[in-house]
Structure 1
Amino acid sequence: MSKPVTISPAIIETLYEEALVLAGASRAAFLRGEDDDDGTPGEISPAACDRRVAMSCEALRTTTRMMHAIAWLLNQRAYHSGQITEFQLRRHGRLPPAQPEGDPRQLAMLDGEMRALVDRTRALYARVERLDRAWRARFAMQPSAVHRLRDRLGTAFG
């Protein structure tokens, strides 16, 4: 049997650069969103208040998602550069579970650019999650459900 595949440093570097750019773009978009308020002192309309809450919640989710992905990628970079061992990476380099999805009504209150950035951060996180799962399973090929069922049937009736 051949040696399992591993994640190449080039993949990690590419994802890391993409994550940094995306984190910066997300931060800038959410800061611009805060500046879009009319700035008049006094009472805020309920709609404006709801939009601020929605934007704050999604900004926190997006920031957390990106920081978790960046931390995972930094651990991978440290491993590939020899700064930490595989044991240390497996023990301390776990990717936390994805953030729960926000309320679709709140997400709809954000402008199109912010929603697109949120979607891009979700997609990046999903790619990092797939790499993490595969790396933890050592990229071992698992038989498909059909093959497992066929083997069980063969054992039972063979």
Structure 2
Amino acid sequence: MTTPVDINRSIVEGLYAEALVLADEVRLSFALADQLDLKQEDEDLARIALSCEALRTSTRMMHVIAWLLNQRAYFHNEISEFQLRRCGRLPVEASRSDPEQLVMLPLVLRDLIAATERFYARVQRFDRAWHSRFTMSPCAIHRLRDRLGRELHCA
């Protein structure tokens, strides 16, 4: 079994390139979606669903790109680790797509939206792992001292 790789410059650069391609695909797909002929019972509701999902998807991608830009700035020594920890977090809850609205959209858009959600989840795992390095946990000496203290009080 391999050990997990910590985030590094090459991972960030790869994710950044992937994010730019995906964001461009989102922009193009939703721009062209305005030309779709939405043949449904309520075309107005379908257009509202299209607008809402376009906004959610674009926002999701912009959050990821902003996070990656902060990471890139850190690796290029443009911001400190403290600044990155303070300002370089992804939102805890990304706006999830509304299943009722998704069914009104063409399959190609639903697949694209799902791809952005998977990409966001991947980046969010890196964010959580990186920030978990800074959680305070007692060192081995303190844990041993606490355990010995509990054992002596029980005896």
Q: Is the 8 A contact 2:67 2:90 kept in 1?
A: yes
Contact 1:65 1:98 in 2 (8 A): no
1:69-80 superposed matches below 5 A: 69-80=64-75
Give the aligned partner of residue 79 of structure 2. Answer: 84
Per-residue CA shift, 1:102-150, capped at 9, x if unaligned?
321210111111111101100110011100000001299x9xxxxxxxx
Q: What is the alpha-carbon distance in structure 2 between the residues aligned to residue 66 and residue 137 of structure 1? A: 23
Residue 73 of structure 1 and its aligned partner are, at CA, apart by 0.2
Higher relative contact order (CA 8 A, sep 6+): 1
Report percent identity of matched pairs: 52
Shift of 1:6: 3.4
Note if contact 1:69-1:125 (Cα within 8 Å) is conserved in structure 2: yes
1:22-51 deviation per Cα after TM superposition (whole angstroms, max 9, x unaligned): 01101111111101248xxxxxx8621111
1:137 matches 2:141? no
The answer as to whether partners of 2:16 and 2:68 remain within 8 angstroms in 1 is yes
Map of 2:46 onto structure 1: 51
1:23 alignment partner in structure 2 = 23
For 2:8, give the aligned amino acid. Answer: S
Given that 2:60 and 2:95 are in contact with CA atoms closer than 8 Å, whether structure 1 keeps it comes out as no
Deviations 1:57-108 (A, max 9, x none): 1001001100000000000000001111101100111111233323212101
Pairwise mapping of residues 104-115 of structure 1 onto structure 2 (< 5 A)? Answer: 104-115=99-110
Question: Structure 1: 5+ residue runs without aligned partners?
Answer: 39-44, 143-151
Query: Separation in 2 of the partners of 1:139 and 1:114?
Result: 38
Runs (4 or more) in structure 1 with deviation over 4 Å come to: 155-158
Structure 2 distance, partners of 1:19, 1:98, is 19
Scaled by the length of structure 1, what TM-score is found? Answer: 0.77
Say whether residues 1:67 and 2:92 are aligned partners. Answer: no
TM-score by length of structure 2 reads 0.79
Rounded to whole Å, the distance in 1 between the matches of 2:96 and 2:6 is: 30
Count of residue pairs the alignment pairs up: 137
Query: Residues of 2 paired with 1:71 and 1:126: CA distance?
Result: 15
